[in-house]
């Protein structure tokens, strides 16, 4: 009986996490980027230039 209770609690927690991730996705937020570009320098929003693609080969 205790195993079922623990399983039910874990399933509820996982469902809440997935629900939160879906809501964040719909709101345009990403788990990979917090949207605070002063922390990372905005590297996730930069588009590679032609020079960058030439140097990477």
Output the pTM of the full model: 0.53
Q: How far is CA 5 from CA 10, 16, 18, 50, 51, in A?
A: 9, 17, 20, 57, 58
Q: H helices within the chain, ranges in order?
A: 2-26, 37-40, 50-55
pLDDT, averaged per 10 consecutive residues of the chain (57 residues), comes to 95 96 80 62 58 56
Residue 33: predicted pLDDT: 62
């Amino acid at each position: 009986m205790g195993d079922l209770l623990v399983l039910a609690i874990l399933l509820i927690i996982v469902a809440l996490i997935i629900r939160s991730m879906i809501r964040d996705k719909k709101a345009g937020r990403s788990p990979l980027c917090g949207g605070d570009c002063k922390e990372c320098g905005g590297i996730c929003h930069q588009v590679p230039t032609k020079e960058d693609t030439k140097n990477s080969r």
